[in-house]
Amino acid sequence: MERQLIRRLFPSGKKHFLANVLDYSGANRLLRHWDSWSGLLVLNYHRIGDPLECEFDRNLFSASQENFEKQVRLFQSSADLITVDDLETVLKADRGKHILITFDDGYRDNYELAFPVLKACHATALFFIATSFIDSPRFAWWSEIAWMVRNAQVNTIPADKWFDAPLEIGEGYPSQAIGQAVRRYWSLQDDETDDYLSSLAQATGAGRCPPSLAENLRMSWEMIQEMHEASMGFGGHTVNHPILAQISASRQREEIVGCRDRLAEKLGTAPLSFGYPVGQAHMFTSETKQILQEAGYRFAFSFYGNHCKTSHQDWLDIPRCSIEYSLPRAILNSRLTIPQIFAKN
Ligand SMILES: [Zn+2]
């Protein structure tokens, strides 16, 4: 018991230790009401619910429904929780603490679990949709990779064309191996991705994931339209969720414009916001930004940490930081009081 308490108070990471000091000393509670920062803190969620019930990538879960509600109320008491319509005003403001909630990829739990919470809290969020997954429900590459590794018939995948060292899958839920296999996909060129997935299907012995499992994974257009009518914001996230930096300019244009046109057709208005798929700094280029601008997008969100300071000029690279299921409460509290330190990845 004592050892557990000591470990809780003095965790190994320096940032976690500092967060605990701020939280247990009451400093976070005080700072919440002071101007300890100004600008826009954009938080990113993927899935809401219980990861243990999921057959795919459990790393994508951001919070249980109960914790999501606590978090939304915490944001409301810590800053101005803004809507997508406030974005321009907030980015031009020279003071104030603002928070925007975003969701990526259009999972069905966003409608079933997050939407009721947002309505109950009189809050909104911005949802980034990769349109082809709504039009024809199927697996995205990261879900299929997670499923194949999780259903592997082997404990190790030997080093091969794709992996410099053997991929250790091990027992239980192979979170680390899934992460490694997903990251390997990030580095592939467009014409290598199918080969990689086929090779992984064979090496794991799991085969390709049966498409029937994808049926209820995403929201339907009817759900999206209902949310849109209830003031939820929607933004583009491409048609097929490729890593934009890895594909040609003409393919990028198809993905960016195609997504814009499909959202405009279904929602009656063209999206002004865009979330870069995966969103790390090297996942999009200046050419991508140019295409976005030509397509009429005004705001584009990356995903490599940080908050957006008041002087932030580049509206096509608005930083976001992720909310993870295992994020310690003290770090979340500290992120809302000192994002200069705690919103960094
Ligand atoms: Zn995504």
Q: What is the tens place of the pLDDT at every residue in 70-79?
A: 999 999 999 9
The yes-or-no verdict on residue 104 having pLDDT over 70 is yes
Residue 214: per-residue pLDDT:
85
Ligand 1 centre distance from Cα of residue 135 (Å):
16
Q: How far is the CA of 32 from the centre of ligand 1 (A)?
A: 31
Q: What's residue 70's pLDDT? A: 97
Centre of ligand 1 from the C-alpha of residue 174, in Å: 21
Counting every residue written for the chain, the total comes to 345
Q: Which amino acid is at 238?
A: T
Average pLDDT, the chain: 92
CB under 8 A, 24+ apart: contacts of 259-262? 259/129, 259/130, 259/131, 260/236, 260/295, 260/296, 260/297, 262/131, 262/135
pLDDT value of position 170:
80
How many A from CA of 7 to the centre of ligand 1? 35
Task: Please give the distance, rounded to the nearest whole angstrom, from the Cα atom of residue 236 to the centre of ligand 1.
Answer: 10
Q: What is the Å distance from ligand 1's center to 105 Cα?
A: 5
- Is residue 10 scored above 60 in pLDDT? no
- How buried is 230 (Cβ within 10 angstroms: 0-12 exposed, 13-18 middle, 19+ buried)? exposed
Between the CA of 242 and the centroid of ligand 1 the distance, in Å, is 9
**Rounded to the nearest whole angstrom, what is the distance from the C-alpha of residue 278 to the centroid of ligand 1?**
5
Does residue 3 carry a pLDDT above 70?
no
pLDDT, mean of residues 247-269: 97
pLDDT of residue 59: 85
- The residue with greater pLDDT, 171 or 344, is 344
- What tokens appear for 26 in the block? 């009451």
**pLDDT band with cut points at 50, 70 and 90 for residue 5:** low
Q: What is the mean pLDDT of residues 57-67?
A: 92
Percent of the chain clearing pLDDT 70 (strictly above): 97
Helix residue ranges, H only, 233-338: 249-267, 286-294, 329-337
Q: How confident is the model at residue 172 (pLDDT cuts 50, 70, 90)?
A: confident
Question: How many other CB atoms sit within 10 Å of the CB of residue 46?
Answer: 21
Task: Note the pLDDT tens digit of each residue in 173-232.
Answer: 788 899 999 999 988 988 899 999 999 999 999 999 888 888 889 999 999 999 999 999
Higher pLDDT among residues 291 and 143, named by residue: 291
285 CA to middle of ligand 1, Å?
A: 17
Cα distances (angstroms) measured from residue 123 to each of 45, 74, 128, 230, 323:
15, 12, 17, 10, 17
Q: Give the distance (Å) from ligand 1 centre to CA of residue 277.
A: 5
Task: Quote the ligand 1 centre to 182 CA distance (angstroms).
Answer: 13
The domains of the chain, with CATH numbers, are: 18-137+216-342 (3.20.20.370), 141-213 (no CATH)
Residue 165, burial from CB neighbour count under 10 angstroms (0-12, 13-18, 19+): exposed
Taking the C-alpha atoms of residue 265 and residue 236, their distance in angstroms, rounded to an integer, is 13
pLDDT of 343 > 80? The answer is yes
- Rounded to the nearest angstrom, the distance between the alpha carbon of 92 and the centre of ligand 1 is 27
Average pLDDT for 335-342: 92
CA atoms within 13 A on the CB side of 160: 14
Q: Answer whether residue 260 shows pLDDT above 70.
A: yes
- Lowest pLDDT segment from 7-16, 21-30, 299-308: 7-16
Which one, of 63, 74, 61, 62, lies nearest residue 121 by Cα? 74
d(CA 26, ligand 1 centre) in Å: 36
**Strand ranges inside 46-159, DSSP E:** 47-48, 61-63, 80-81, 97-104, 126-129, 156-157
Distance 21 CA to ligand 1 centre (A): 34
d(CA 234, CA 159) in angstroms, rounded, equals: 42
- What distance in angstroms lies between residue 169's CA and the mean position of ligand 1's atoms? 25
CA distance 276 to 256: 10
Contact 272/293 with Cβ under 8 angstroms? Answer: no
CA of 180 to the centre of ligand 1 (A): 17
Q: How far is the CA of 23 from the centre of ligand 1 (A)?
A: 32
214 versus 132: the higher-pLDDT residue is 132
Strand partners, 305: 344
What's the 3 CA to ligand 1 centre distance in angstroms? 40
Q: Which stretch, 55-64, 147-156, 179-188, 253-262, has highest mean pLDDT?
A: 253-262
| pLDDT of amino acid 1 | 44
pLDDT at position 9, please? 52
Residues 121-130 have a mean pLDDT of: 98
Task: Tell me, in angstroms, the distance from the centre of ligand 1 to residue 27's CA.
Answer: 35
CA of 237 to the centre of ligand 1 (A): 7
Buried b / exposed e across 272-297, counting CB within 10 Å, b at 16+? Answer: bbbbbbbbbeebbeeebbebbeebeb
Contact 137, 217 (CB under 8 A): yes
3-state class of 233 per DSSP?
strand
**DSSP code for 210:** P
CA of 222 to the centre of ligand 1 (A): 20
Ligand 1 centroid distance, CA of 176 (Å): 20
Amino acid at position 293, single letter: Q
